[in-house]
Chains A and B, each alone.
Chain A
Amino acid sequence: TQLLEQSPQFLSIQEGENLTVYCNSSSVFSSLQWYRQEPGEGPVLLVTVVTGGEVKKLKRLTFQFGDARKDSSLHITAAQPGDTGLYLCAGESSGTYKYIFGTGTRLKVLA
């Protein structure tokens, strides 16, 4: 069974701090997505990474896909209260069309 473990599970930080969220698996994925979900809403796609070692930047967010395509990280610079939410990674195994979601990281940024 494929599993995606996210760490940390919970994170509470002050506005302006930096943070990194990790998404790890023993399985190889052909692509990996990161989502943010706010209470009462569906997940919103932030980024998709497909190439081992790929780095993508989205304003203050930096996403990296591991060289072996088994892990990924999300780094937020100078966090803001608007970054508060549940961050989910999801991996897709080649040919299965099925997405395995991570356990989630719940981030709270205090003003």
Chain B
Amino acid sequence: NAGVMQNPRHLVRRRGQEARLRCSPMKGHSHVYWYRQLPEEGLKFMVYLQKENIIDESGMPKERFSAEFPKEGPSILRIQQVVRGDSAAYFCASSPGQGPYEQYFGPGTRLTVT
């Protein structure tokens, strides 16, 4: 049973470019979470999605950030017009959605903005 997959593992973007981060949940999981982690810090919740629905995006900046989880294909976290402060590790986790809602994490995408 394949785990949560994220790609790319490393992404370098110049200021002003767009970054697209992909996450394929574990088989049978229909819930996806995105988190951001800065060096030497814990994980900060960004957004929670189910297939074709954004359930909670309270942790995501209102500007430049968007997320989707289409009926087919991976979940995408998109960051437009990246700035240096967006440099971080972005983790995706999936859950089967059945209590107690355990999460399984992917290996992360490390975004560097130059």
Q: Which residues of A does B touch, CB under 8 Å? A: 30-31, 33, 35, 40-45, 48, 50, 88, 90, 92, 96-104
Contacts and interface: CB of A to CB of B under 8 A. Distances in A.
6 contacts: A31-B101, A42-B93, A92-B100, A101-B42, A101-B45, A104-B41
A96 B56 contact: yes
Interface in B32-54: 33, 35, 41-45, 48
A89 B104 CA distance: 14
Nearest to A104: B42
A41 B107 contact: yes
A97 B31 contact: yes
A45 B104 contact: yes
A30 B100 contact: yes
A33 B106 CA distance: 16
B101 A97 contact: yes
Contacts of A40: 108
Contacts, number: 59
Interface residues of B, number: 25
A102 B42 contact: yes
B69 interface: no
A98 B4 CA distance: 18
B96 to A, nearest CB: 12
Contacts of A90: 43, 103
A48 B45 contact: no
Nearest to B92: A42
B56 A97 contact: yes
Contacts of B42: 88, 101-104
A43 B91 contact: yes
B1 to A, nearest CB: 14
Given A42-B108, A43-B43, A99 B56 contact: no
Contact of B43 (A45, A88, A96, A98): A88
Contacts of B31: 97
B12 interface: no
